[in-house]
Structures are given as C-alpha cells and as structure tokens.
Amino acid sequence: MADSLRDLLRTPAAPVRLPELDPRGTPLAPGSKERTREVMIAEGQRLAELQERLYAEGVTGGHRRLLLVLQGMDTSGKGGVVRHVVGSVQPQGVQYTAFKKPTPEELRHSFLWRVRKAVPAPGLVGVFDRSHYEDVLIGRVRELAAPEVVERRYREIVRFEAQLAQDGVTIVKVFLHLSPWEQKQRLLARLDDSAKRWKFNPGDIDERELWPAYQRAYETVLERTDSDAAPWYVVPADRKWYRNWAVGRLLLETLTELDPRLPEPSYDVAEQRDRLIEEHPIS
C-alpha cells in the first residue's frame, strides 16, 4: 500500500502527550464520511479474503495468528469496531474475548493467567475487548495495586507479548482516543434513547471525574509497552466512521504484510475430479 496508516498512527515517541493528539482527526481518510464508508466496504472484502487464507493456513498446520487488542475509555467504540470491522470477516475464523471484572478464580492466579487462555489458536483472528492492560490502568488509577506491582506488570506484559510474537502471534494494539466532550454526548444519547439505556451505568459519570488520571495512565502504558513486536496505534475515535475505517485499515495493512497463502492440496486434483465424474449415481 502506498500510504501506511500504521506508520501514521503508531504511538509517538516518549513522552506521549495525549492532549496533543486530535481525537477528531481523520489521517489518510479516503474522503468524506460517505466516501470512506464506500472504501471500507471494498477493503472489508479484501480483509475477509486474507482472513480466510490465514484460517486455511491454521487448519492445515500453520502457526500464524493475529491478535487485535482494543483499549479505550467507555463509549470509545470497542463494540462498534467489533461489529463493523471484525464483523466483516468469517465468524468461524474469529476468537472474541471480552475481559470483565476478574472472577474469584481468576484472582487466585497471576493477572496474565486468564489472558494466556484467551490467546487465539493458529489461523484465527483474536479480539481482546479490553485486555491485560486493565490491570495496569485501573490498578494505577483506582490504586488497587501498589505502585511497585504496577511497575512489575509493565515488564511482565512486554515479556508476555514478545513471547507471543515468537510463537507466531502478530499483535495489533489499538487505543481508541476519545475526547471527554464526545464521551459526554454519547452518554447523553444513551440516556435519551430508551433502547440504549441498558448500556448506561451511573458509574460512568463517576469515572469521568478520573479522566485526567486515566489519560496519564494511558500515556504511561503507551510509553512502556509499545514495541516493534507489539505496536500501539492511537486511533482518533470521536468520529465513528473514521474510527471504524482506521482500525479496518490497520488490520488490512497487517494481514497484507503477513501475506497468508492458501495451502496446496495434498491430493491429485485431476484424479479426484475423475472419481466424481465417473462415480455411479447415488440412489
């Protein structure tokens, strides 16, 4: 591809300053909202083709897989990305995991225990809707873990992701960069729509009071855990149409570079065609 969105949205070098990054930006957008949606449909078809090839590789003994990690403040659009972007590929080739509050069993293990179990199998596109990063974000902001524990977890995450890369997992980490103003509008829209009120949690308003602390926590995450093996991309998320296209384009660029190939058949194609043509009618 002539222009790389991955290069453009890759998290900037430290120190990361999120207020300096425009959440309403539209870098490399194909055009207007309508034009971008048209392009997204075409690119979604190509993405589905590449995903099918990756799946075929895995079914026939390949070890490569792709992991999309989605992080962002409430209403930033993690669910929308899953619906509009990941939903464009074959569901049989997708492994989706939404990480919620740890269960008592999960709390008895290392914070990476439940994450290791959710790593996608060969040939699959894995999606983490929230992830192991919750343990360093909430742990820091809500002071649920001591500072030295949070520091240790940054290092554990980097080692964990490096091991995944060695095992054939290509990692695409996306921070959906939302403005507090846009989040407010989306929360109001939920309250004003009876069909969406089930999505609203009064605690979301309480969390808004911690917005500056969360932004600093995300800046630290981006600085400490960005690597060539597991890069972070900061995707402007105020415009839903751009957010969806951008994440899809990041996946398309990544899969294009992986260049999965359909496996060659282990049988003689001509021989099998003759067998079918010459078989006796089935009564």
One digit per residue, the tens of pLDDT, for the chain of length 283 reads 558 999 999 999 999 999 999 999 999 999 999 999 999 999 999 999 999 999 999 999 999 999 999 999 999 999 999 999 999 999 999 999 999 888 999 989 999 999 999 999 999 999 999 999 999 998 899 888 889 999 999 999 999 999 999 999 999 999 999 999 999 999 999 999 999 999 999 998 999 999 999 999 999 999 999 999 999 999 999 999 999 999 999 999 999 999 999 999 989 999 999 999 998 877 6
Cβ contacts of 59 within 8 Å, gap of 6 or more: 123
Looking at residue 114, its pLDDT comes to 96
Instruction: Write down the pTM of the prediction.
Output: 0.94
What residues pair up with 69 in beta bridges, in sequence order?
Answer: 128, 173
Q: What is the pLDDT of residue 139?
A: 87
> 144: which 2 tokens?
């649920």
Beta pairing, strands 65-72 & 125-129: parallel
Q: Count the Cβ atoms, other than its own, within 10 Å of residue 166.
A: 9
